[in-house]
Amino acid sequence: MLKEKITLLDVYKARKNIAPIIWKTPLVESPELGARSNATVLLKLESQQRTGSFKLRGATNKMLGLSAEELSRGVVAVSSGNHGRAVALGAKRLGIRAVICLSERVPKIKVEAIKRLGGEVVVHGDCYDAAEQRALKIEQEQGLTPVPSFDDPLVIAGQGTVGLEILEDWPEIDTAIVPLAGGSIFNGVALALKSADPSIRMVGVTMDRAPVMYQSLKAGKPIEMEETPTLADALAGGIGGEHNRYTFELTKHFIDEYVLVSEEEIAAAMVFALKEHKIAIEGAGAVGIAAVLHEKVQDLGKNVAVVVTGSNVDMRLLIDIAQGRLPYP
Ligand SMILES: *Cc1c(COP(=O)(O)O)cnc(C)c1O
């Protein structure tokens, strides 16, 4: 059972709160994906969001919900990169301190972006969970206020505003395909869409390397797994193990189908986006396209929205991939 309920009302409140800061992103047709899957396929381009990912929505909503006293002490966040950038931007606008804990695996482009915004970067350990331990220590030692990246009602409601935008532009949607790691974007979008129409199918997509939520659902409880390098670096990391409070139960409740994609399939989807849509997207942002491109969704429906979650990819890596070289064979 969910300990506290997050409702559609929370998503509408989030939309009002974050409206001055976030951009409404385009929903564009992908005729090529449509032709392959005999459906109408639209891409929700959160890759065009300010900071290059949807993370700004949840992080902003969370920070706006903190008290003046909490904010004045400064904030701390653990991140695979994109959440840290979002928190750093929020902190800069509020004129407060932000400490961002990252693992050694976080791509340089993401680390640099956080530093440019004035975020204090702490690099620790070779996985998300190690960086998280460090963040916890800093929080306790320095009295900073944590801004969680996924397992938090205000964060989930903030990400849910993506679902509201899709509904506004395309009420006929019958299937949503959404990247799934910690589960904030998947469940936020699910909350918005299924509140409007419970028959809308929610398909979650993760890389087949260390799919923590997938294995947790199989095990019937949140589990921990060792992190493996992947093109979808923003999907790496655990779901908090036994401390998970919201997203495990929410995912169990909302998910209709779970798809895993390989590194090759992610790479092909990144190249597809570049060639067909002339957009640069990161691996995590490409997993939904990968699922459709490689016909991995069992029950696709007729009106399919694919959430493209982020664009923060190193240009050299993208060029390598476009030339057929994969970094992790
Ligand atoms: C964080 C992130 C995800 C996964 O979001 P969760 O809420 O952790 O499931 C997907 N894509 C990108 C680009 C991200 O930054």
pLDDT in tens, 66-89: 999 999 999 999 999 999 999 999
The number of the ligand 1 atom at minimal distance from the alpha carbon of 282 is 13
pLDDT at 4: 65
Are residues 79 and 45 in contact, defined by beta-carbon separation less than 8 angstroms? Answer: no
Rounded to a whole number of angstroms, the CA Rg of the chain reads 18
For residue 33, give the amino acid letter: L
Which residue from 235, 254, 282, 314 has its CB within 8 A of the most atoms of ligand 1, so it is best to mutate? 235
Distance from the alpha carbon of residue 236 to the mean position of ligand 1, in angstroms: 9
Split at pLDDT 50, 70, 90, the class of 1 is very low
pLDDT at 58: 98
pLDDT in tens, 9-26: 999 999 999 999 999 999
Query: What are the DSSP calls for 180-191, one per residue?
Result: -SSSHHHHHHHH
pLDDT in tens, 275-323: 999 999 999 999 999 999 999 999 999 999 999 999 999 999 999 999 9
Pocket around ligand 1 at a 6 A CB cut-off: 53, 55, 82, 150, 179-186, 234-235, 282, 284-285, 309-310
The beta-strand segments (E) located in the chain are: 27-29, 40-45, 75-78, 98-102, 120-123, 145-146, 175-179, 201-207, 257-261, 303-308
Torsion-angle region of residue 241: left (phi > 0), alpha (psi -120 to 50) or beta?
A: left
pLDDT in tens, 28-68: 999 999 999 999 999 999 999 999 999 999 999 999 999 99
pLDDT in tens, 177-224: 999 999 999 999 999 999 999 999 999 999 999 899 999 999 999 999
- What is the rounded average pLDDT of the residues 162-171? 98
Distance from the alpha carbon of residue 285 to the mean position of ligand 1, in angstroms: 8
pLDDT at 329: 63
Distance from the alpha carbon of residue 255 to the mean position of ligand 1, in angstroms: 16
pLDDT at 326: 84
Per-residue tokens: 285: 């942002």
Handedness of CA 297, 303, 309, 314 (dihedral sign): positive
SS3 178: strand
Residue 286 β-bridge partners: none
Q: What is the mean pLDDT of the chain?
A: 96
Question: CA distances (Å), 307 to each of 28, 46, 119, 269, in order?
Answer: 11, 7, 28, 13
pLDDT in tens, 252-287: 999 999 999 999 999 999 999 999 999 999 999 999
SS3 60: helix
Question: CA distances (Å), 316 to each of 44, 187, 229, in order?
Answer: 25, 33, 17
Distance from the alpha carbon of residue 310 to the mean position of ligand 1, in angstroms: 8
- What is the rounded average pLDDT of the residues 93-113? 95
